[in-house]
Amino acid sequence: MLRPGMCLLVGALLAAFLGEAAGTTTCFAGNATYPACSDDTACAGGSCTASVGCYCVDPITQCLPSSNVTCDSSTTPCCPEGLYWFPNQTCCSEELNCDPACVTGKETCGYADGDAVCQCNNTAYLHANRSRIAPTVDCRGDVMTVSISKCLLERFQYSASNMHLLENNRTECSGPSYVDIVNNERILFKQVPLQNGWCGTTFSVQGEKVTYTNALYIPPDFDLPIIISSALNMSFSCTYNMTMQTSLQTVLHPLIGTVTLPAINGTGTAQAIMAAYTNDAFTIPYQVGDELTVGSPVYIGIMTTFTDGDNFTLRAERCVAAPSNASYDTTGVPLITDGCALNQDVNAQYVSNGETLEVRFKMDTFVFQDMPEVYIRCDVRLCKKQTPDVCKCSSSRAGRSGGATASLSIGPLDLSVSIDVNSGSSTVVSSLAVLWSSLLVLLSLRLF
Ligand SMILES: *[C@@H]1O[C@H](CO)[C@@H](O)[C@H](O)[C@H]1NC(C)=O
Ligand SMILES: *[C@@H]1O[C@H](CO)[C@@H](O)[C@H](O)[C@H]1NC(C)=O
Ligand SMILES: *[C@@H]1O[C@H](CO)[C@@H](O)[C@H](O)[C@H]1NC(C)=O
Ligand SMILES: *[C@@H]1O[C@H](CO)[C@@H](O)[C@H](O)[C@H]1NC(C)=O
Ligand SMILES: *[C@@H]1O[C@H](CO)[C@@H](O)[C@H](O)[C@H]1NC(C)=O
Ligand SMILES: *[C@@H]1O[C@H](CO)[C@@H](O)[C@H](O)[C@H]1NC(C)=O
Ligand SMILES: *[C@@H]1O[C@H](CO)[C@@H](O)[C@H](O)[C@H]1NC(C)=O
Ligand SMILES: *[C@@H]1O[C@H](CO)[C@@H](O)[C@H](O)[C@H]1NC(C)=O
Ligand SMILES: *[C@@H]1O[C@H](CO)[C@@H](O)[C@H](O)[C@H]1NC(C)=O
Ligand SMILES: *[C@@H]1O[C@H](CO)[C@@H](O)[C@H](O)[C@H]1NC(C)=O
């Protein structure tokens, strides 16, 4: 029988051989302090546990994972101190290794605080121009994101961890929000929700545009003996159109259209989405193939990804139903006009309009004669809250700032008309035919 020491020696030679064959690194084979987790003699029941690490069945002896006893280095410290994880070889080695890998050319794998970490390659940034620090801002309806190169900041001896926004009175105001590698460069991202007052964010409305502004302040590293840079303080802003433009996603799965709010001083967008629901809680979306019985209620919700609900509401100015995507202007039947539901030819009632960032209304299902489909298009806008309340139904268009709106549409609501002969009574709303088009006859069937 082989002595344990012999086993280890053979293992070490084998591992060394495999390591050389792969042309990468020499796996550490294990010793009395750190046996292999899969070694049933020296380490019974070894395993790796997320956030804890790899231990034998006793919770004291650290062990070495391998392909037999796997370790996920994204959640688990895989190797004991002084050894580094090589994910490609699923082993620990005495050779320094950064996992995840460092940015090629721009970073080197170094040793700091007992761990292998990516450090900026000073040679690569030595002749960098300070103007290259130029941060960028990305604008979305819910968040502004400023991005900036970590190594360029370090090159000019800025203290990225001490960066903060205009006001610094909560923990989220300071430090980067997250770090990622973009275009072969490690980038720090600072995210600022679109919310008036958050770490000093303010907004201003000019005409049909709203602009959110904040500033990012990055101090130099005062721990260094020589300070070569003044503090960076740059303001950034995201501007959004308050009116929305037409765009329609693939209409059928499910019935959701999308509009885009173009942004300036950034590349981002906010979106508004219209969906049809079958219940009055607006929670069960209408699916393609669902039967909508004429006369039964259908619930329409319009939401936006724009998040500053303290200062803005979403208001549907006008909604029109039509038998085809192209006929809103000719054969369309208005559901909402000037922000108010028209309970006229078609029974439409708004549940909420201009009160929150969601518009809700209800209508009784109807069909156009000989046309199985119904499309709905809405003109929606962000409405700035003010006193007196100008966003709700009762206020006229003239009372609000600006006039233009853009559209959002949905459809087709594919109506598999099922008419219950016993309980249904059909009413031809003839006035509509006269009013809107000689071709159109609106058939409204009510079930009592
Ligand atoms: C085992 O290897 C580790 C890492 O190289 C080392 O720190 C430790 O002293 C070794 N233990 C023995 C008993 O050789
Ligand atoms: C590890 O594997 C990945 C993909 O499988 C490869 O891109 C990378 O170069 C490998 N790293 C080493 C050090 O072999
Ligand atoms: C560091 O940058 C220099 C200059 O670009 C380059 O020659 C060198 O290979 C880089 N070092 C590493 C480890 O990538
Ligand atoms: C840095 O870039 C700016 C603008 O591109 C340029 O005007 C300046 O001369 C550059 N400075 C150096 C030292 O190259
Ligand atoms: C931060 O300061 C602003 C203005 O000074 C204030 O409105 C806000 O409530 C403060 N936030 C916190 C979390 O203290
Ligand atoms: C940064 O600039 C803004 C104006 O853009 C100013 O209000 C703020 O006080 C400045 N912050 C610092 C720390 O200088
Ligand atoms: C804002 O919307 C209006 C109309 O919807 C459009 O004409 C204008 O070009 C948009 N502005 C920007 C900056 O996209
Ligand atoms: C961003 O908008 C402000 C105010 O409208 C303007 O002064 C500034 O030049 C703009 N910046 C860019 C990069 O377009
Ligand atoms: C935004 O809304 C908050 C909360 O209702 C209010 O205190 C603040 O004055 C509003 N800001 C503007 C610029 O209207
Ligand atoms: C409706 O018309 C618009 C504009 O012409 C188009 O972008 C959209 O794809 C159409 N939708 C359907 C369902 O045909």
Q: Where are the domains of the chain?
A: 26-95, 130-241, 247-430
Ligand 8 geometric centre to CA of 212 (Å): 12
Report the nearest-CA residue for atom 10 of ligand 6.
233
- Give the Cα separation of 314 and 298 in Å (integer): 20
Torsion, Cα of 391, 395, 397, 399 (10° steps): -90
* The pLDDT value given to residue 394: 63
Ligand 10 geometric centre to CA of 259 (Å): 12
Report the nearest-CA residue for atom 1 of ligand 4.
129
b/e string for 77-110 if b means 16 or more Cβ within 10 A? bbbbeebbbbeebbbbbebebbbeebbeebbbbe
**Model confidence pLDDT, tens digit, residues 228-275:** 777 888 889 888 877 663 322 222 222 223 333 233 244 345 567 788
Measured from the CB, is residue 88 less than 6 Å from ligand 2?
yes
Helices (H) and strands (E) in the chain, counts: 5, 27
Ligand 5 atom, smallest distance to 199 CA: 1
Ligand 2 geometric centre to CA of 150 (Å): 24
CATH class of residue range 130-241: mainly beta
Ligand 3 geometric centre to CA of 182 (Å): 18
Characterize the bridge pairing of strands 91-93 and 257-264: unpaired
Ligand 4 geometric centre to CA of 102 (Å): 28
Find the residues whose C-beta lies inside 6 A of ligand 5: 167, 169-170, 197
* The pLDDT value given to residue 59: 83
Q: Ligand 3, residues 103, 120, 121: which to mutate, most atoms within 8 A of Cβ?
A: 121
Measured from the CB, is residue 259 less than 6 Å from ligand 10?
no
Ligand 8 geometric centre to CA of 371 (Å): 50
Measured from the CB, is residue 233 less than 6 Å from ligand 6?
yes
Ligand 6 geometric centre to CA of 200 (Å): 10
DSSP 416: -
CATH (one of 2.60.40.4100, 3.30.1490.20, 3.30.450.40, 1.10.3720.10) for 247-430: 2.60.40.4100
Ligand 9 geometric centre to CA of 197 (Å): 9
Ligand 2 atom, smallest distance to 88 CA: 1
b/e string for 120-157 if b means 16 or more Cβ within 10 A? bbeeebeeeeeeebebebbbbbbbbbbbbbbbbbbbbe
Characterize the bridge pairing of strands 406-414 and 424-429: unpaired
Q: Ligand 7, residues 205, 208, 242: which to mutate, most atoms within 8 A of Cβ?
A: 208
Q: Which of the residues in the chain have pLDDT under 70?
A: 1-23, 113-114, 243-271, 288-289, 291-292, 343-345, 369-370, 372, 394-448
Same CATH fold assignment for domains 130-241 and 247-430: yes
Strand residues in 56-101 grouped as ranges (E): 84-86, 91-93
- Give the Cα separation of 184 and 187 in Å (integer): 9
Report the nearest-CA residue for atom 14 of ligand 7.
262
Ligand 10 atom, smallest distance to 375 CA: 13
- The answer, as to whether pTM is greater than 0.75, is no
* The pLDDT value given to residue 245: 36
* The pLDDT value given to residue 419: 30
Report the nearest-CA residue for atom 9 of ligand 10.
248
* The pLDDT value given to residue 173: 95
Radius of gyration from C-alpha coordinates of the chain: 32
* The pLDDT value given to residue 122: 87
Q: How wide is the angle at C-alpha 204 spanned by C-alphas 201 and 206, nearest 5°?
A: 155
Measured from the CB, is residue 282 less than 6 Å from ligand 1?
no
Ligand 9 geometric centre to CA of 210 (Å): 14
Ligand 4 atom, smallest distance to 129 CA: 1
Scan for tokens 């546990």, then name that residue. Answer: 49
Q: Residue 76: CB partners within 8 Å, gap ≥ 6?
A: 48, 49, 50, 51, 52, 53, 54
Ligand 7 geometric centre to CA of 248 (Å): 17
